[in-house]
Amino acid sequence: MRVLLTGAAGFIGTRIAARLADAGHEVVAVDAMLPAAHGQDAELPGAVRRVDVRDASAVADVLDGIDVVCHQAAVVGAGVDAADAPSYASHNDFATAVLLAEMFAAGCRRLVLASSMVVYGQGRYVCPQHGDVDPLPRRRSDLDAGVFDHRCPIGGEPVDWALVAEDAPLRPRSLYAASKLAQENYALAWSEATGGSVIALRYHNVYGPGMPRDTPYSGVAAIFRSALESGDVPRVFEDGGQMRDFVHVDDVAAANVTAVESGLQGFDAFNVCSGRPVSILDVATALCEARGDVSPLVTGQYRSGDVRHIVADPSRAAEVLDFRAVIDPAEGLHEFATAPLRGI
């Protein structure tokens, strides 16, 4: 198939491009080369065309003969403050709307969309007495006292984290999360209006070689890894017990190839995850142990609005999309501890 890949020069996009080519697909690779993602003086990779997806005429020029669009281009991260909102809305949501309109005009009716676990908000929690509950936001007084876990909003009992499935309520808690949910909503409406097919891949914590170095928008794996590279130690917030799912970038690329080749119709969303939950402290410890000379520092500090636990259910992706991650985080994180990072 002929595949238009946006964000093709990025951390995830480069791996998807290679995996698509290995699978025999013709890849039309485009990227806006935003300085925040690639640095001020980054050169355009030879196989990639410079295209800002917000530019309708530029998008139209690269859609000729395209069978499916694999849309990775986005401004990522939780956001630093409210001033980031226009950037997320422009590069993520408006760009997606432009892409969908141009796909319709070009007669292309298949989209694979890079979404994110952040659309789930604070995750899923189960009370031993009251079942599934939606805890209230954690109180600053509790966080200051070192009480980090949620309690049942009904009876105050301690609650346990549980796997989040794709039918969970979508409740974004950050600017980035709001923009990713908006992308999904635009794609869903486009699918219903045009009869097109959309597969939204909700990435969990992606890591791996070539990950961007520490920036204000980086994920925790890059922050820990950058600290180690600079001679510092990973600084773990709260008590380190926050549970996450870390998925290797090569598994993410494989999920995209599977989605591109899928014959699913309508709109569907899938968790892209390892299926092997780990704590943030375990991640920091694994990186330290692989380097052999330092230990993480648990600070007890916290960031307002951080999610305590969010862990994915991989079963639907396995059953419906036939995708299963193959890289165990224990092995992947050991490799990542000394893997090269991408400079910004």
Q: What tokens were used for 54?
A: 């917000």
- Return the ∠ at Cα 209 (arms to 211 and 6), rounded to 5°: 55
String of DSSP letters for 298-312: E-----TT--S--EE
Can you list the domains of the chain with their CATH numbers? 2-123+164-337 (3.40.50.720)
Q: Taking the CA atoms of the chain, what radius of gyration do you get in angstroms? A: 20
pTM (predicted TM-score): 0.96
3-state secondary structure of 89: helix
Cα distance between residue 253 and residue 327, in whole Å: 12
Do 225 and 287 meet the contact criterion of CB atoms below 8 Å apart?
yes
Q: Residue 107: what pLDDT?
A: 98
Run means of pLDDT, 10 residues per run, the chain, 344 residues: 97 97 98 84 88 98 98 83 89 98 98 97 96 93 95 96 97 92 98 98 95 74 91 95 97 98 97 97 96 92 91 98 97 94 76
**Rounded distance, CA 187 to CA 267, Å?**
8
Angle between helices 249-261 and 11-22 (to 10 degrees): 50
Q: Is 144 exposed, middle or buried (0-12, 13-18, 19+ CB in 10 A)?
A: exposed
